[in-house]
Amino acid sequence: MAAKEKREFRLLATCEDAVGIVAAVTGCLAEHGGSIVEANQFSDPDTNTFFMRYVIDAESLPFDGAGLEKALQPVTDRFTMNCRIADTAQPHRVLILVSKTSHCLNDLLYRWRTKDMDFEVIGVVSNHDDHRDEVERRGIPYHHIPMPKDPQAKEEGFVETARLIDELNPQTIVLARFMQILPGWMCSRYPGRIINIHHSFLPAFAGARPYHQASERGVKLTGATCHYVTSDLDAGPIIEQDVVRISHHDSLQDIVRLGKDVEKTVLSRGLRYHLEDRVLVHGNKTVVFR
């Protein structure tokens, strides 16, 4: 989907389920002339939690996002609601981290260049210098931060990466096959802002060399998982997954080739849901309003 011309506010909210939530929110919006152009809601019976995503025509309201938040305050207080409002007038700033394998990076850059997805690439960070020419010819800053095997030197690389992230202040950090395990302090520093693509159908084959694990196990399906990064390796809340069928005829090289196609598709779908504010995290699960 290309970038929207019409400005919208996206209202995301979670709270304990109760009678009257929808009526209270829609009533408040109607009171101020707010036009709802998309509405999604879900009640989880296991946790008695209510999830809501409303898209509102910004031009229909007499105030900005801060004004909308203030207008909704009585409702959010009444239901002890966690509420967030996103404004589509502001381009979503994305920083991409990548190692040597470039298929996911190339796919994201293509979607950015063709405006298939609405985001701004503010830079690419890599522990290798392989992609510099490819990235810089598109006018995107390229940052080479080596990650040596020596633990202390690698930690210094992560510190430098975090310093760069703080300087650039991206809303989202995408690990597009960035083959380094982020330290726990770094995961905690950017909660809900780091998205990773893992080349297996998690929770199967977490960690290193998942295609080798799949080949050795003789599985008939392999896949990819787009998830938020936490301090638990490959165990963050899952946004999107998909699989591809394999057989005894497929070599390890075949599995890798088939998997790459799934990886870039799953990453782009998961990132799109995130950029469009369709993902609500609840514990280690997600509600995704497609």
pLDDT over 80 (residue 40):
yes
Q: Other C-beta atoms within 10 Å of 46: how many?
A: 6
Number of domains in the chain: 2
Q: CA 271, CA 121: separation in Å to the nearest integer?
A: 13
Q: Which of residues 20, 55, 87 is at a domain's end?
A: 87
- What was the pLDDT predicted at 2? 45
Within a domain: residue 15?
A: yes
Judgement on whether residues 186 and 136 belong to the same structural domain of the protein: yes
Whose tokens are 């609405």? That residue is 118
Within a domain: residue 1?
A: no
pLDDT digits (tens, 9 = 90+) for 217-248: 898 988 999 999 999 988 999 999 999 999 99
Judgement on whether residues 76 and 105 belong to the same structural domain of the protein: no
Judgement on whether residues 266 and 143 belong to the same structural domain of the protein: yes
Judgement on whether residues 72 and 116 belong to the same structural domain of the protein: no
pLDDT over 70 (residue 4):
no
pLDDT digits (tens, 9 = 90+) for 122-179: 999 999 999 999 999 999 999 999 999 999 999 999 999 999 999 999 999 999 999 9
Judgement on whether residues 235 and 255 belong to the same structural domain of the protein: yes
Judgement on whether residues 125 and 258 belong to the same structural domain of the protein: yes
Q: CA 203, CA 222: separation in Å to the nearest integer?
A: 12
Judgement on whether residues 13 and 146 belong to the same structural domain of the protein: no
Rounded alpha-carbon distances, angstroms, from residue 32 to 22, 160, 178, 257 = 16, 47, 46, 53
Contact 3, 118 (CB under 8 A): yes
Instruction: Place 205 in a pLDDT band, splitting at 50, 70 and 90.
Output: confident
Angle between helices 252-275 and 103-113 (to 10 degrees): 40
Q: Which of residues 26, 55, 87 is at a domain's end?
A: 87
The two tokens of residue 252 are 């390890």
Q: CA 175, CA 181: separation in Å to the nearest integer?
A: 10
Within a domain: residue 253?
A: yes
Rounded alpha-carbon distances, angstroms, from residue 59 to 29, 62, 138 = 13, 8, 34
Q: CA 131, CA 178: separation in Å to the nearest integer?
A: 13
Average pLDDT of the residues in 192-210: 88
Q: What residue numbers bound the domain in which 62 lies?
A: 8-87
Within a domain: residue 132?
A: yes
Judgement on whether residues 66 and 106 belong to the same structural domain of the protein: no
Q: Which of residues 87, 110, 137 is at a domain's end?
A: 87
Judgement on whether residues 105 and 71 belong to the same structural domain of the protein: no
Judgement on whether residues 38 and 129 belong to the same structural domain of the protein: no
- What was the pLDDT predicted at 136? 98
Catalytic residue among 107, 234, 250, 277: 234
Q: Give percent of the chain with pLDDT exceeding 90.
A: 86
Judgement on whether residues 143 and 265 belong to the same structural domain of the protein: yes
Residue 93 phi, psi dihedral angles, 5° rounding: -90, 120
Whose tokens are 């080739």? That residue is 257
- What CATH number corresponds to the domain at position 70? 3.30.70.260
Whose tokens are 């896949």? That residue is 223
- What CATH number corresponds to the domain at position 109? 3.40.50.170
Q: Is 261 assigned a catalytic role?
A: no
pLDDT over 70 (residue 3):
no
Burial label, 164 (beta-carbon count in 10 A; 0-12, 13-18, 19+): middle
Judgement on whether residues 259 and 273 belong to the same structural domain of the protein: yes
What is the chain's length?
290
Q: CA 235, CA 203: separation in Å to the nearest integer?
A: 7
- What was the pLDDT predicted at 1? 41
